[in-house]
Every structure is written in structure tokens, then in C-alpha cells.
Structure 1
Amino acid sequence: MLSRIKLRQLRLLIAVAEQGNILAAARQMGLTQPAVTKSLKDLEQDLGLELFKRSNRGVQPTIYGETLLRHARLVLAQLGYAGEELAELQSGSGGRVRVGTLLAASAYLLPAAIERLRISRPKVQVAIVQGTNDQLAAPLEDGELDFVVGRLPEFRHRKGLSQETLTDEAVWLVVRDGHPLLKSGSNLAFLELLNWDWILPPETTTLRRQIEKSFHDAEVEPPVPAIESVSYLSNRYLLIATDMIGVWPSQAVRDDMANGMLARLPLGLADAVGSVGVTKRREAALTPAAEALIQELRAVAADL
């Protein structure tokens, strides 16, 4: 059934799905609309399956189309990796790594590992995409990312993915140095925290659920955040410049605490220690550059 599929058809399949319109896909591919229509029909006839539903509003993948799309993206990604790996072998120290990162790794663990990597492989290129586990899962599964590094999600056995714990890290309530709440000392209670604006990660994250559990355990309603963000730079600026409260992994805040910019509130969180590690596709072969970066992540984590 699949032996006659051409790479050009896979690229066309992806373009049509992303554009939702045959004419737009044709323009993207530099083809005529009739050529795209014929190529799709030929593919559907070869497979004996309807890949797209046509309507006046455009085209939408069927369940068969979605399945083939998922594999098409992986096939093209793996071919891209193969080309990069061949180039690495030819050059000796080049290559490219696409890594997704969460707040827990973006402040220190990943930058420190990249610094080490560039000593041994100075020509390597690293592309970093920041987001939540939910936001990064699809690009990882589709082969757009080599791996994700950060706080490991609650689902440890997601189909097709494997996880490796690098270190365990505490999570702290953080404010600017000199914040009025710091005067309360050990008498600080969760109820007092509701009088201040909060910066929190999205509701779908493990860290957000952990925060809400801490408030529920204290029989206090969790705060409604003024800002929902996983941006390290934005969150850091707002915490230093305002009286907002944030929740940060200890490694992300350690330098600012040492420099007197930020401070930790003396209140513990439920399950305050979480695992930080690497998530990758179970069956995918990583390029030498990606493997080398994971090795450096292990080395940095071992020294924490």
C-alpha cells in the first residue's frame, strides 16, 4: 500500500493540511492547483483511502489523513536528521540540535550544558524552543524537536516517549528582595498571599497543579494569576520590578538570590521537589550532536 508513495507527495500532504486550502498549498509548493489536486487524488487512489474532506471552506484531514500526516512529518524529520548526521561526519564537529525547554532548565541547566558542548563541538548549532510540556509534546512527537529538557510531566509513560531523570529540584515561592511579605518571617500564612498579584504557569502544567494543591491543603482557595507565563525573562523582570509573587525552580533563582535581587518566601509547597530531566522519542535515533548535548546535561546535573 505504501511502496509507491513519493517524498514529494508527503511534502504536498503536509502543505495541504497546514494551509487547509489546495490553492494556498499549490502556491507554497510552487505548483499549479490542478497539479496538486491530481497528486492528492493519485495518492488517495493508491492507498484506497480518503485523506481529506473537501468543502467550500477548504479541506480537512480525515482520520486516515491525520495518521499519514503524523508519519509523514516523522519521515521527513528523520531524513533531515540523516542529512545533518552525514554533514556532521564529514565536518567532524558540526551538527544542529533542536531542543525544547521548560522554565526549570532554561535558566541554568541548559545554558551551562550548551556552554560545555561548544568547547568540544564549536561548530554545533542549537535551536531552543521554550514552552510547557503540553506545548512541546506535539513538536517532539512530530520530530521537530530532538528532545525536551525540563521538569518531567506527571505522565511518565506517554506512548512513544521515554524519559530520563537528571536531577531533583525544589520549587520556591519568590518575591523581590525587600518585599513587604518578607517581614512576616515564619508567621507567614497562605491566606496572606492572596492580597498580592501572582505570576503562575498555565493551568495544564504540573507546577500549577502543585501550587493549587498547596493552597487546598491549607484550606485556602488558590490565587487567580494576574500573569500566566513560562517566560523566564518576562517573569524575572516583573518579580524584580513589582510586588508580584512567583513560583520558580530553585536553580532558576539562585543567582538573583545571591545578588540580592530576589528572595524566597518562608512557605513550603506541597510536593516541593520535582524531577528535572530529558524527554525524547522512544524509537528515534538522535544525531551525534544531540547525544553530545544530553551527555553535557548529565554532567552539569551531576554537579548541582
Structure 2
Amino acid sequence: MIELRRFEQLITLADTGNYRRAADKLGITHGALSQTVARLERECGTALFERRKRATVPTAYGETFLQAAREAVAVISQANREISLMQNLETGRLNVGIDPVLSEGLLAPALGVLLESYPMLQFTALPRNWRSMVDDLVADRIDIFIGLAPDRQSDRCDYTEFQLIPPVFACRAGHEILERASFTMEDLIQFPFGGGDVPDWLLMQFVDAFPDQFSSVQSLQGMFLTTHDLGLMRQLLCSTNIIGLVPLPVILSEVSAGRVVVLPEIEALPMLNITGVVATREDRPASPAAEKLSRIVLDLAKLGYTNYARRKQSI
């Protein structure tokens, strides 16, 4: 990887504009950096940098060389990361795209299980959703996506579906709707109504169940307040009259503290069918780390839904 190190030295010099600062950042001597630049300039047959009064800047030839160097460093670094992940689960980094609605209830315990066995594995959890996940996977910004199923599956991705526990309706403690012995969907939508960003197939279940209130998915979207930040949704639930449709794990601490109340189920609403997916790129095998996380997620989701279904049957 000698060439890669030389490229990294040139990139750092261009970014800092100063030989001494660049050398300090790289952990090498000023002389070693100067030798690298001089050697590359001899090989290219032209000057790549010029010293000005306030900074050292790339020449026009240097800019062209730097663009290629940056691309090469990015490609090689990505390849090294993928090789590391493919070799074993002890080292490397896994980039997980996670739908915020599943981060607390599913990803957190799944990563806990994974890291118990492989404590040296590094990971980054990036908030993503069904809208962006295909582009993120194809562009290698994430290695695996865990979240709600998209409205349409792309042939560029491989999907494994699983059932999720339906979300609950909730409101703040002391909300005026709690004064009623029973209520309908018509009662609920008299208040601000919202939750996470969800696909049309989920909203369509409400349209089918309540055609008098919602004539189409678009009409429901028009009154449904959407946020990608579930921390914000918790704050809204605690301090406003909003009626939230949220996964129970998202508000569990607020419910336990008595700040938020889970509303009774609406009789006219059938049990929501909520489908999640684990998605990876279709054109290559998933890394061992991604495969292991996928299995853990699927096992936890199956266990959680099975226990939920049993409780429903016993009621």
C-alpha cells in the first residue's frame, strides 16, 4: 500500500496548505513529506504544488492528480473495509441503515447480542428509511438496511421480510380524550395526528378500515404529521394534544413514568399487518457481520411477534 500512503500525503498537504502542518497530521517529518512530493513530481514530469505567500497550493496538474488520488484512496479504503468484514467478525466496521421506528425496539437489542460475541466489531448506525435505502445500499453508504418494507421492492436489493408488532395510539397524560369512556377514529382525528414516516401500504390499512374518514392515502397523509425524529415525537406527546401512532418501545420510558398513556385499541380497526425487511445488495454476498446481524434481527423479531400474538389470543 505504498502508493496509497503517498496519495494520502498529497491529499493531506492539499487540505492543510502547509508542509509542516500536513507532516504533523500524518505523523511524519517535514523532510519525508517533501521527498514524497518531489518523487511524485519527477514521475509526473511536472510540478504538482507551488508555494505562495500564505499557503502551498496545487497547480492545475496537481488538481488533476489529486482528484484521481482521492478517488483511488476512497476505492481502496472501501475494499479494505469489505475484505476485513468478509474475513471475520472480530475486526472491521459495519454500517447499518436503520429505520428510526425500529432502532430502539429491534436494532439496539440485536446489536447488544452481536457485540456480546464480537466486542471488537465496530459499527455505525445511520438513520435511514424505506425511501432512501436502495440508493444508500448501492452507493455503499450502508451495508445492511433494517426497517419497514418499501412500497415497491427494487431488483437491486435482496429482501428478507419479517412481521412486526403493530404500533399503538398514545397521548399525554391528562389529555381530554381520556375523559371519554370510548372513542372512535373520528374522535381521534379531531386532534393533531402523527408518527414516523411510513409507507403507503401501512396507511392504506387505515383507509380500508375507515373509508368515511379517509378517502385515500393522500387524504390521510394530508392530516398525518410526520417526523423522522422520534425523540421529537416523544416531546410532542408529552407536551401537546397530538395523538401519536408509534411503536411501544419508543415511548416505554414515558409510559412507565406516567407522562404518556397508551390508548385502548379501536374496535373497528383490524390488527395492523406491519412488515419489516432486512435488505442487502443483490449483486454480491453480504459480509459475515451483516449476515450475523440479519439472523439476530430476524430471530428477535420472530420471538417478539410470537409472544405478542399469544398475548392477543389469551385476551
Pairwise same-fold verdict (TM > 0.5) = yes
Q: Measure the CA separation in 1 of the matches of 2:60 and 2:185.
A: 62
- Given candidates 168, 175, 179, the residue that maps to 1:179 is 175
- Given candidates 116, 137, 140, the residue that maps to 1:140 is 137
Amino acid across the alignment from 2:212: A
Amino acid across the alignment from 2:116: I
1:105–1:37 distance in 2 versus 1, CA, 3 Å: same
Amino acid across the alignment from 1:209: L
Structure-1 residue corresponding to 2:149: 152
- Given candidates 211, 218, 242, the residue that maps to 1:217 is 211
1:269–1:143 distance in 2 versus 1, CA, 3 Å: farther
Structure-2 residue corresponding to 1:302: 302
For structure 2, list consecutive stretches of 5 or more residues without a partner in the other structure. Answer: 1-6, 8-48, 50-56, 305-315
Whether 1:164 and 2:160 are equivalent positions in the alignment is yes
- How far residue 170 of structure 1 moved from its aligned partner, in angstroms, is 1.2
Q: Measure the CA separation in 2 of the matches of 1:31 and 1:84.
A: 34
Matching of residues 20-35 of structure 1 within 5 Å: 32-34=59-61
Residue deviations 1:3-33 (CA, integer Å, cap 9, x gap): xxxxx9xxxxxxxxxxxxxxxxx9xxx8544
Q: Measure the CA separation in 1 of the matches of 2:77 and 2:227.
A: 30
- How far residue 149 of structure 1 moved from its aligned partner, in angstroms, is 0.5
SS at match of 2:161: strand
Whether 1:106 and 2:103 are equivalent positions in the alignment is yes
1:215–1:180 distance in 2 versus 1, CA, 3 Å: farther
Q: Measure the CA separation in 1 of the matches of 2:65 and 2:124.
A: 37
Query: Does the Cα contact within 8 Å between 2:167 and 2:248 map onto a contact in 1?
Result: yes
Structure possessing the higher radius of gyration over alpha carbons: 2
1:230–1:270 distance in 2 versus 1, CA, 3 Å: farther
Structure-1 residue corresponding to 2:262: 263
Q: Measure the CA separation in 1 of the matches of 2:178 and 2:231.
A: 23
Residue deviations 1:125-173 (CA, integer Å, cap 9, x gap): 12111132113331112111011111111213x1211111233321332
Residue deviations 1:214-252 (CA, integer Å, cap 9, x gap): 686233453745843122211112212222112113454
Structure-2 residue corresponding to 1:57: none
Structure-2 residue corresponding to 1:196: 191
1:84–1:185 distance in 2 versus 1, CA, 3 Å: farther
Amino acid across the alignment from 1:161: C
Q: Size of the alignment, in residue pairs?
A: 243
Q: Measure the CA separation in 1 of the matches of 2:171 and 2:191.
A: 11
Q: Measure the CA separation in 2 of the matches of 1:124 and 1:287.
A: 13
Q: CA RMSD, aligned part only?
A: 3.7
Structure-2 residue corresponding to 1:276: 276
- How far residue 113 of structure 1 moved from its aligned partner, in angstroms, is 0.5
Amino acid across the alignment from 1:284: R
- How far residue 200 of structure 1 moved from its aligned partner, in angstroms, is 3.7
Q: Measure the CA separation in 1 of the matches of 2:282 and 2:231.
A: 32
TM-score (norm 1): 0.65
Query: Does the Cα contact within 8 Å between 2:186 and 2:213 map onto a contact in 1?
Result: no
For structure 1, list consecutive stretches of 5 or more residues without a partner in the other structure. Answer: 1-7, 9-25, 43-68
Structure-2 residue corresponding to 1:120: 117
1:219–1:206 distance in 2 versus 1, CA, 3 Å: closer
Q: Measure the CA separation in 2 of the matches of 1:37 and 1:185.
A: 72
- Given candidates 200, 203, 212, the residue that maps to 1:206 is 200
Q: Measure the CA separation in 2 of the matches of 1:136 and 1:77.
A: 22
- How far residue 205 of structure 1 moved from its aligned partner, in angstroms, is 2.9
Query: Does the Cα contact within 8 Å between 2:134 and 2:157 map onto a contact in 1?
Result: no
Amino acid across the alignment from 2:184: A
